[in-house]
Amino acid sequence: VQLQASGGGPVQAGDSLRLSCAASGGTFRDYAVGWFRQAPGKEREFAAAIRWNSRTTVYAESVKGRFTISRDNARNAVYLQMNSLKPEDTAVYYCAADRGIILSSMKRHDAYDYWGQGTLVTVSS
């Protein structure tokens, strides 16, 4: 499956932004999808993930209550709605997907084999 992330850009603190991850080339509804981010000079970190059937979502503590992950399998897309953005949310955001990821592994970047190119989110204070 091929993934394409989009929707990043420069925003002010407190603003909202919605990232999209478009998938092609596979049976997308079978895949769990995660959003990861990497700030300059830092390790890639988990942000949010969603199971194939949307019944299970997982969030990093740093984004819980502000970010919402959702998916539209009919459109082969996953979204990350980001509200109340903070300067520390500045990062390149990547979407990733794979099948058969168990719940305890959804936060692990090495659980995902398929990655899109990143989209940059810059939050200024």
Q: Encode pLDDT of 82-94 as tens digits.
A: 999 999 999 999 9
Task: Report which of 119, 45, 57 is spatially closest to residue 88, judged by C-alpha positions.
Answer: 45
pLDDT above 90 for 52: no
CB contact set of 40 (below 8 Å; sequence gap of 6+): 91
Longest dimension (CA), the chain: 41
Region 74-86 average pLDDT:
96
* pLDDT tens readout for residues 3-38: 999 999 999 999 999 999 999 987 888 899 999 999
Give the CB-side neighbour count of residue 39, counting CA atoms within 13 A: 11
Look over the chain and give the mean of its residue pLDDT values, rounded to a whole number: 95
Amino acid residing at 28: F
pLDDT value for 53: 80
Predicted confidence at residue 31, as pLDDT, reads 92
Residues ≥6 apart with Cβ < 8 Å to 60? 45, 46, 47, 48, 107
How many other CB atoms sit within 10 Å of the CB of residue 5? 23
Residue range 47-74: mean pLDDT, rounded? 94
In this predicted structure, the answer to whether residue 54 has a pLDDT above a threshold of 80 is: no
Q: How confident is the model at residue 70, as a pLDDT?
A: 96
Confidence of residue 55 (pLDDT cuts 50, 70, 90): confident
